[in-house]
Structure 1
Amino acid sequence: MAKKNFKELLPDIKAFVFDVDGVLSGGQIVLHPNGEPMRTVNIKDGYAMQLAVKKGYPIAIITGGNTRSVRMRYKRLGVKDVYMKSAEKIHDLNHFLEKHQLDAKDVMYMGDDIPDYPVMQACGFPVCPSDAAPEIKAISLYISDKKGGEGCARDIIEQVMKAQNKWMDEHAFGW
Structure 2
Amino acid sequence: MEDKSYKEYLNQITTFIFDVDGVLTDGTVTVTTDGEMLRTMNIKDGYALKTAVDKGYHVCIISGGSNEGVRKRLENLGLTDIYLGAHNKIEQLNDYLEKHSLKLENALYMGDDIPDYPVMQLVGLPACPQDAVPEIKAISKYISHKNGGKGAVRDVIEQVLKVQGKWNGSFDAKYD
- TM more than 0.5: yes
Distance 2:27 2:67 in 1: 16
What number of residue pairs does the alignment pair up? 171
Give SS of 2:168's match. Answer: coil
Instruction: Give the letter aligned to residue 97 of structure 1.
Output: L
SS at match of 2:87: coil
Whole-angstrom CA distance in 2 between matches of 1:33 and 1:13: 43
TM-score (norm 1): 0.95
Structure 2 counterpart of 1:165: 165
* CA apart distance, 1:121: 0.4
| Map of 1:19 onto structure 2 | 19
State TM-score, norm by structure 2.
Answer: 0.95
Is 2:62 the partner of 1:62?
yes
Output aligned runs, 1:1-175, within 5 Å. Answer: 5-168=5-168, 172-174=170-172, 175=174
**How far did 1:4 drift?**
5.3
Gaps of 5+ in 2: none
The one-character-per-residue Cα deviations of 1:23-49 (angstroms, maximum 9, x if unpaired) are: 000121111222121000000000000
Secondary structure of 2:91's counterpart equals helix
CA distance in 1, matches of 2:86, 2:33: 24
Structure 2 counterpart SS, 1:85 = coil
CA distance in 2, matches of 1:27, 1:64: 12
2-structure distance, mates of 1:55, 1:31: 36
> Runs ≥4 in structure 1, deviation > 6 angstroms?
none
Name the amino acid aligned to 2:38: M
For 1:39, the aligned partner's letter is: R
